[in-house]
Amino acid sequence: MIEVENLTKYYGPVPAITDITFQVEKGEILGFLGPNAAGKTTTMRILTCFMPPTRGRARVAGYDCLDQSLEVRRRIGYLPENVPLYNEMRVTDYLHFVSAIKGIPRRERSRKVAEVMGDCGLLEVAGKINGKLSKGYRQRVGLAQALLSDPEVLILDEPTVGLDPRQIIEIRNLIKSLAGRRTIILSTHILPEVSMTCQRVIIINEGRVIAVDTPENLTAQLEKSAQVLLQVEGPPEEVVTILSRVEGVLEVERRDIAADHQVHTYLVKSQPALDLRKELAAAVLRNQWGLLELRGVSLSLEDIFIRLVTEEEGSAADHPSQSTSGPEGPDEEEEL
């Protein structure tokens, strides 16, 4: 449905994206994952015919984004980053305007507008001014305008950015409910998003594709070791020594999260497919230390992302440690 070949775009002398190549099948939800300034928006702007690439080509439904731009634009619904709306218009009037500009016949407009407003949960703000909407409703209006005219392809640039957790869940569910008939490309720099909504992920960094796979495969491919997190009250050096001696343990890393001198958090890496939780607990108890916490940790997409990026750069391949994932790291960990 979407074919992108060697797409390159320069802003002045520096490329924003370099040789991006990927395909999206009909009905697929593709996650476009990358940190800020990776080139996600640039790629999407090329796909939506807002600007042409410097090199390479992009096709949507078989039409070239450069030569057959009108045909492409007829088939695309686009939600730009930051959701630019005409702030002085009322929600309903705005959607009527969009349906007119998208060429929906006059007599069908009211029905279509009512339909997308229902789908996007906009009925309660129908008479409000766009500029006065909360961020969450703004996002939905953006989504609603993209959905008008029933496009085959939806391109959503960071659809959940700036929303509170409840709104994020609502928008994600909304996006998932749109899948099936439509092909969706969705960009984000928040990792759990793709694992929850997308069937396939493209990881992009500094304008280059560094991995393309399903979220599950990416996890499996990179889960080189199983990990257990412990919080133990006891002398830190001894704890590390004892834990390292447990059979199957590859590495023990101390993470000083607790302020108390005796209480520390340890991350134990073991060989894959080995559950050492019982043995580790026994070792701690044998030495009569206090076991305050013990849980298994799987790699989150965030860790995968950091690994891919760091491995690509070749600098920190040996230390893809949890602690590099920053303050959000522990929050994204999934319980085994």
Partner 1 sequence: MNLFPILQREFKSYFVSPIAYIVTFIFLLVSGYFFYTNLAWYAFVSLQMASSTAEGVHDLNLTDGVLRPLFLNMSIVMLLMMPLLTMRLFSEEKKTGTIELLLTYPIRDVEALLGKFGACLAVFALMLALTLVYVLLMAFYGDPESGPVITGYLGLLMLGAAFIARGILASSLTENQVVAAALSFGFLLLFWAISWATFFTGPKLGSVLTYLSLMDHLNSFSKGVIETKDVVYYLGFTFYCLFLTLRSLESKRWRG
Residues that bind partner 1 (CB under 8 A): 9, 11, 42, 45, 48-52, 70, 73-74, 76, 78, 80, 82, 84-89, 97-98, 100-103, 145
CB of 159 to Mg ion, least distance (A): 12
Residue type, 291: L
Contact (Cβ atoms closer than 8 angstroms) between residue 222 and residue 304: yes
Tell me which of ligand ADP, Mg ion, partner 1, none is bound by residue 123, counting a contact when its beta carbon lies within the kind-specific cut-off of 5 to 8 angstroms. Answer: none
Which residues sit opposite 264 in a β-bridge?
A: 232
Q: What is the Cα–Cα distance from 60 to 74, expressed in whole angstroms?
A: 10
Q: Which of 147, 149, 157 is nearest to 177 (CA)?
A: 147
CB of 30 to partner 1, least distance (A): 19
Tell me which of Mg ion, partner 1, ligand ADP, none is bound by residue 100, counting a contact when its beta carbon lies within the kind-specific cut-off of 5 to 8 angstroms. Answer: partner 1
Find the angle CA(132)-CA(136)-CA(138) to the nearest 5 degrees. Answer: 50
Contact (Cβ atoms closer than 8 angstroms) between residue 58 and residue 100: no
Q: Which is nearer to ligand ADP, 208 or 254 (CB)?
A: 208
CB of 147 to partner 1, least distance (A): 13
Contact (Cβ atoms closer than 8 angstroms) between residue 39 and residue 14: no
CB of 158 to Mg ion, least distance (A): 6
Tell me which of ligand ADP, Mg ion, partner 1, none is bound by residue 38, counting a contact when its beta carbon lies within the kind-specific cut-off of 5 to 8 angstroms. Answer: ligand ADP
Q: Which is nearer to ligand ADP, 103 or 326 (CB)?
A: 326
| Cα 184 off chain centre by | 13
Q: What is the Cα–Cα distance from 255 to 248, expressed in whole angstroms?
A: 20
Q: Which is nearer to ligand ADP, 211 or 230 (CB)?
A: 211
DSSP 129: B
Residues that bind Mg ion (CB under 5 A): 40-41, 81
Contact (Cβ atoms closer than 8 angstroms) between residue 227 and residue 275: no
Q: Which helix (H) or strand (E) holds 2?
A: strand 2-11
Residues that bind ligand ADP (CB under 6 A): 11, 16, 34, 36-42
Tell me which of Mg ion, partner 1, ligand ADP, none is bound by residue 74, counting a contact when its beta carbon lies within the kind-specific cut-off of 5 to 8 angstroms. Answer: partner 1
Which residues sit opposite 184 in a β-bridge?
A: 29, 154
Tell me which of partner 1, ligand ADP, Mg ion, none is bound by residue 89, counting a contact when its beta carbon lies within the kind-specific cut-off of 5 to 8 angstroms. Answer: partner 1
Tell me which of ligand ADP, partner 1, Mg ion, none is bound by residue 109, counting a contact when its beta carbon lies within the kind-specific cut-off of 5 to 8 angstroms. Answer: none
CB of 196 to ligand ADP, least distance (A): 20
Q: Which is nearer to partner 1, 102 or 176 (CB)?
A: 102
Paired sense of beta strands 200-205 and 29-33, if any: parallel
